[in-house]
Amino acid sequence: MTFAALRTEFMAKVKKETKENGEAITQNTSTKLNPGQAPLETDINTKVKAAKEPETAAKVKSSKRTTSPKEEAVILITNDDGISAPGLAALVDSVKDLGKIVVIAPDKAQSGMGHAITIGSPLRMVRVKNYFDEKVEAYSCSGTPVDCVKLAVDKILHRRPDICLSGVNHGANHSINVIYSGTMSAALEAAIESIPSVGFSLLDYSLEADFSGPKKYARLIVQEILSKKVIDKHLCLNVNFPAVNVDQLKGLKVCRQAYAKYEEDFDERVDPNGRKYYWLTGEFVNFDKGRDTDVWALNHNFVSVVPVQFDLTDYKLKDKLEKTLNF
């Protein structure tokens, strides 16, 4: 079936459900994960609305398992806040019945590590218990989030998992934050290894943060990805949640990364021995007024989804340089 035919069929189905339910279903079909697939944004938002009806909710529940018991999906989960972080526990809990769960996370906080790997010292990995459900296989690692993904594939799973999840991070990873994020670097490392991946972040640094919203949408997103028979093996999604009650979330919106950055400053202090030391401080400044950005979506209580990639080539500039430079 062609993409045009599939889209027509999907839109007709949505239109029919909208008429039956007597309510409008918000749609945005301009951004798609892959040709030939229904838009993730529309699929998830439709399922969230449909789940409010008991009969429809039962149908959604019955389709949770995307593979047969003999072909149970392997779900690798990591983070950058450490093995004991509440956000990691929330993510594991949200998907624990969707497949075989294997967790490997840093033994301490590794925020802001980016894509760092450990090369000057040995890595240690320990099997841990009492953090998650007894069916969850979990390890703590002395390395970075990227180290965790590499070790998981090579020494624990001995294969590529069906999907890699990272988070839920305590704090934003929208806009420029994605460059520094250990959470998103772990997801990108998986994408490099041809493992579809998603990084989840909540705009709340508190250890008592409410993860009900991330749990709800993380499950739906993972189900949607696992259910696709054909998917980009390098898929990597950066998903951020505003710090609001789950009932205040307006749905999921596929966005682009906003042009924003930190106006940084270093707070200079002096220790008891008279030596100077510095604390990095700064203010997040958004220069992008577009309504299609992750910052806009989050400011308006949407769950932002930004497809990212590890290929950093600027193709427009490449074409321009090829025509203008003569070496």
- For the chain, the average pLDDT equals 84
pLDDT at 61 over 70: no
State in words which class domain 72-258+286-311 has.
Answer: alpha beta
Provide the b/e sequence for 3-22 (b: ≥16 CB within 10 Å).
Answer: eeeebeebeeebeeeeeeee
Domain segments of the chain as ranges: 72-258+286-311
Mean pLDDT of 102-124: 94
What's the confidence (pLDDT) of residue 229? 62
Amino acid at 17: E
pLDDT at residue 3 in the model:
38
Query: Which tens digits make up the pLDDT trace of 246-288?
Result: 999 999 999 999 999 989 999 999 999 999 999 999 899 999 9
Q: CA-CA distance, 270 to 316, in Å (whole number)?
A: 48
Structure-model confidence comparison of residues 61 and 150, the more confident one: 150
pLDDT at 114 over 50: yes
| 256 secondary structure, DSSP code | B
Q: Which of residues 70 and 308 earns the better pLDDT score?
A: 308
Q: Say how far apart CA 310 and CA 235 lie, in whole Å.
A: 10
- At 49, is the pLDDT very low, low, confident or very high (cuts 50, 70, 90)? low
Q: Report cis status (omega within 30 of 0) of the bond before 60.
A: no
CB atoms within 10 A of CB 274: 6
Predicted TM-score (pTM) of the model is: 0.80
pLDDT number for residue 104: 97
How far is C-alpha 192 from the chain's CA centre?
Answer: 15
Question: pLDDT at position 238, please?
Answer: 98
Contacts of 62 (CB under 8 A, 6+ apart): none
